[in-house]
Chain A
C-alpha cells in the first residue's frame, strides 16, 4: 500500500467516524443524564437530512442563492432547530410521561416513536418511498494534493463536527448550565436537592443531543448525495454501537467510539479480501466483543462520572 492510499483511507475513515461520533454523543448524553436509551435518535438523523433537503425552497425564496455561505448557514440553523424541537417534543410526550416506569417501557416507546416518525416521512414527503437526491450545496470538485483526493464535503463535515463538539464541550464544562447537567448526571436526587431544575436539564439535554444528531443527518446528505426515509435505522444502530464501545454516558468515549468504528470499518474494507461485505457487520461484532470483554466500554473506569 502506498502512502497516498493510506492517507486517502484515513481521510475516508475520518469522514465516516466523525458522523458516527456525532450520533453517538446524543445516545451517550441521554443515557448519562436522563438514563434512557433513545431508539428514536436515529430518526432525528433522518429528519435532519430531510429538513435540509426541503428547506432549500424556503431559503431561495428569501433571496439566498444555492452554494453561498449564508445559504448553507441557513440550512444549518434550520437543521439544528428541527433537531432541538424534535428533542423537546420527545422529552415532553415520550420520555416525561414514562418517568418512573421500568426502563424497558421507555425503550419500547422510543422505538415506537421512531417507527411513527419514519413512516410519517415516507407517507407525507412527496415521493418519500424512493431515495431522494440531495443537492450539492457547494459546487466544488475534489482537490488533488499529491495524489490524495480530498472531497470538500469531507473537510466541511470534519470542521463542522469539530466546531459543534467544541461547542458542546464549552457548554458542559464552562457554563453554569453545563454544571447543572453534570450534577444531574452524577446524582439526580442530590441535584434536585441543590435546587437544580431537573426537568429543564432533561429538556435541554434532549434538545442538545438531538440537534447534533440532526446535523449528522445533514452531513450524511452532503457526503453521499442521497437520503432515504429509512436511513435513520442503520445510522442509529451504528451510533449506539459507538456509544456503547466508548462507554455509555461518557461524551468523550462516544467521540472515541465513533472514530474507532469509522477507522475499523475502513481498515477491514481496505485490507481484508471482500471486506466490504462485512462493513455493516463490524459495528455489531465490536459491540458484542465490547460487552463480553469490557462491558463498561473503553472509558469505562470513569463511568461513575458519566458526563
Chain B
C-alpha cells in the first residue's frame, strides 16, 4: 500500500526536482533503506535477546539477503504486470491559442484513457503534458523538458508552425519521435528526418488543390492574381498560380496590395478590362472583403477564390451582400463529416471535459492513437524503433480517415475543403446550393 502511494503521490513530486527515471529509482532505494533500518533495529533487539552475538550476525545477513530479494521481487513484479510508457504532448496551453491547445490536450487525454481502459495493449500509457505557449522560445524549453524525461518515448502536438519549426530539429537531434498534430507550415517536414511525421495536411496542399479544382473541374483558363505582399498571401498566390499554369491556365496579371489599403477601384478597373475568368486573392479577410465589395460595385461577376485566411465572420460582415459566392479553401473538413467524427464527438462529450475540443481536437486524438499503435507494434521502448513504426503506419483508421505516411513524413490522406459564402455564412461547397457553373457562381 505504502509503496503504491509513494509511486503515485511522491514520485511525480520528485520528478519535478530530478529527471524522470532517476527520481523513481532514487525513491525506491530510499524506501528500501528505510525499511531495512527499521527492521534491522527491531531484529537486532529480538535476536540479541534470544540467540546471542554470533547467531545474530548470521540472521542479520540472512534477513538482509531476504529483504533485497523481496525488494527485487516487488519492483520486478511491477514492471512485468504492465509496463508504463510515457508519451509527451506539447501544445499551447497558455497564450492566444490556449483554447485550441486545451482542446488538443483533452482529446489526447481521451485517447490515452480509452487505450488504457481497452485492456488490449501490452503497455500502460501515461501522458506527459508540456506547454509551448504558442511561442517558439517557450516551445524549445518545453521540448527539452520532454527529452530530459527518460521515460518519454514519443512526442506529439504543436499548433503553431513557428513552435514546430523551432522544436523539430531538437527532437531530431535527440532521436525523439515527434508526430506534428496541427501545425501546417510546409517546411516542418523539409528535413525529411526519420523522427518527424505530420498528421495535419500541409499548407501548400490547399493551394494545389485549389489550382486543380479551378482549372480542371471548373475549366478556368484566364486568372488574375492579387496578393497582400505578406509571406502568407504571396506564397498562397504563387502556389495556386504554379498549379494553374501546370494545368494550362494563363495568369494574365499579378498585383500586390498593401494590408490596410482601402481603395481597389483602379486596380479592379484595370483587371476588369482584361476579362479574367477568375481572380485569386492571397491574403486575409478585411482586404478580401473590400475587394469583393468593390468588384460588386464594378459589376464584375467572375469567380473570386481565396485562401483559408479569409474564412471568418469578419469577411461576411464587411462584404455584406457582396459576400455571396466567394470561394475559399481550407485545410481539414467539418468534423461531423469525417469517418470517425460522430464517434469522437460522442466520446468527447461523455468524458465531460471542461473545455470544448475546438477545431483541431480530433487531430490530437488521432495523433495519440497513431503514436500508441506504433509503440505497440514496435513492442519496445526504443525510440528509433518507435520512430520507424510511426513512419510505417499504414492505413490506421483514425477519426479523419485512413492514415499513412509518405517518405517525407506527411500524411498521405489530404484533407482540403472548398468553402463558399452563402447567405452570410461559410458553408462547405459540397453542402451549398450555390454552385460554379460555366465559370460563374449561381444558385441551383
Binding site for B on A (CB under 8 A): 1-2, 5, 8-9, 12-13, 15-16, 130-131, 133, 136, 142, 144, 149, 151, 220, 223-226, 228, 230-231, 234, 265-266, 269-270, 273-277, 279-280
B147-155, B285-293, B372-380: which lies at the interface? B285-293
**Docked complex Cα distance between A136 and B294 (Å):** 13
**CB <8 Å contact, B255 and A277:** yes
Interface flag for B317 (CB, 8 Å): yes
Interface residues of B (CB under 8 A from A): 226, 229, 253-258, 260-267, 269-270, 273, 286, 289-290, 293-294, 297-299, 314, 317-318, 320
Min CB distance A237 to B, Å, is: 11
Assess the A9–B286 pair: CB atoms within 8 A: no
The answer to whether B267 touches A234 (Cβ under 8 A) is no
B255 interface neighbour in A131, A220, A276, Cβ under 8 Å: A276
Judge whether A269 and B314 touch: CB under 8 Å. Answer: no
* A12 in complex: contacting residue of B229, B266, B299, B317, CB < 8 Å: B266
**A144 and B299 in contact, given A136-B320, A277-B229, A279-B258 (Cβ under 8 angstroms):** yes
Which residues in B have their C-beta under 8 angstroms from that of A9? 266, 269
**Are B256 and A5 closer than 8 Å at their CB atoms?**
no
Minimum C-beta distance from B385 to chain A (A): 50
Residues in B whose Cβ lies below 8 Å from that of A149:
297-299
Verify B286–A277 contact, CB threshold 8 A: no
Contact across chains for A2 and B314 when beta carbons are under 8 A apart: no
State how many angstroms separate the Cβ of A167 from the closest Cβ of chain B.
26
17 A/B residue pairs, CB under 8 Å, sorted by A: A9-B269, A12-B269, A13-B266, A16-B265, A131-B318, A136-B320, A142-B298, A224-B263, A266-B265, A269-B270, A270-B266, A274-B254, A276-B261, A276-B264, A276-B266, A277-B255, A279-B263
Q: Which are the 8 A-B pairs with shortest beta-carbon distances?
A: A277-B256, A269-B266, A12-B265, A276-B267, A266-B266, A276-B255, A224-B262, A133-B318
A155 shortest CB reach to chain B, Å: 13
Contact status of A1 and B318, CB under 8 A, knowing A15-B265, A277-B229:
no
**Contact at B257–A276, with CB atoms within 8 Å?**
yes
Q: A9-B266, A279-B261, A280-B261 are in contact. Are A274 and B256 (CB under 8 A)?
A: yes
Q: Are A225 and B320 in contact (CB under 8 A)?
A: yes
How many Å lie between the Cα of A1 and that of B272 in the bound state? 12
Query: Do residues A2 and B318 form an inter-chain contact, with CB atoms below 8 A?
Result: no
The interface residues of chain A lying within 8 Å CB-to-CB of B265 are: 12, 15-16, 266
The answer on a CB contact under 8 Å between A131 and B269 is no
Find the A residue at minimum CB distance from B255.
Answer: A276
B284 → chain A closest CB, angstroms: 11
Pick from B261, B273, B289: contact of A2, CB below 8 A. B273
Residues of chain B within 8 A (CB-CB) of A226 are 262, 286, 289-290, 293, 318
- Name the A residues within 8 Å of B229 (CB-CB): 277
B214 to chain A, nearest CB (A): 22
Closest residue on chain A to residue B300 by CB atoms: A149
Residues of A within 8 A of B260 (CB): 230, 234, 280
Among A13, A220, A269, A270, contact of B262 (Cβ-Cβ < 8 Å): A220
Which A residues are CB-close (under 8 A) to B261?
276, 279-280
A269 — which chain B residues lie within 8 A by C-beta? 266-267, 270
**Are A225 and B256 in contact (CB-based, < 8 A)?**
no
A183 to chain B, nearest CB (A): 39
Task: Return the chain B residue nearest A4 by Cβ.
Answer: B273
Q: Contacts of A274 on B, CB cut-off 8 Å?
A: 254-256
- From B258, B298, B320, A280 is in contact (CB under 8 Å) with B258
Q: Which residue of A lies closest to B289 (CB)?
A: A226
| Shortest Cβ distance from B258 into A: residue | A280
Please determine whether A8 and B269 come into contact, CB atoms closer than 8 angstroms. yes
Are the CB atoms of B297 and A142 closer together than 8 Å?
yes
Q: For A226, give the chain B residue with the smallest CB separation.
A: B318
B258–A225 touching, CB < 8 Å: no
Which residues of chain A come closer than 8 Å to B255, judged between CB atoms?
274-277
Which residues does chain B contribute within 8 Å of A275, judged by CB atoms? 255, 267
CB–CB B314/A276 < 8 A: no
Given contacts A224-B293, A225-B318, contact A277 B258 (CB under 8 A): yes
Q: How far is the CB of B251 from chain A (nearest CB, A)?
A: 13
User: What is the distance, in angstroms, from A13's C-beta to the closest C-beta of chain B?
Assistant: 8
Write the chain A residue with the least CB distance to B254. A274
CA distance A170 to B264 in the complex (A): 35
Complex interface: chain B residues within 8 A of A228 (CB): 286
Q: Provide the bound-state CA to CA distance between A132 and B229, in Å.
A: 24
- Beyond contacts A225-B293, A276-B264: 10 other A-B pairs, Cβ-Cβ < 8 A, are A16-B263, A223-B263, A225-B318, A269-B267, A270-B267, A270-B269, A276-B256, A276-B267, A277-B255, A277-B258
B273 touching A1, Cβ below 8 Å: yes
Docked Cα-Cα span, A280 to B259, in Å, equals 10
Kindly state the separation between the CA atoms of A56 and B363 in the bound complex, as whole angstroms: 45
Residues of A within 8 A of B264 (CB): 276
CB-defined contacts of B269 to chain A, threshold 8 Å = 5, 8-9, 12, 270
Minimum Cβ distance to chain A for residue B92 (Å): 21
Least CB separation from B294: chain A residue: A224
Residues of B within 8 A of A234 (CB): 260
Which residue of the partner chain B has the closest CB to A150? B297
CA gap between A17 and B392 in the complex, in Å: 63
User: In the complex, A12 Cα to B254 Cα: how many Å?
Assistant: 21
- Other-chain contact of A133, B262, B270, B317 (Cβ < 8 Å): B317
Instruction: Please name the residue on chain B nearest to A13 by beta carbon.
Output: B266
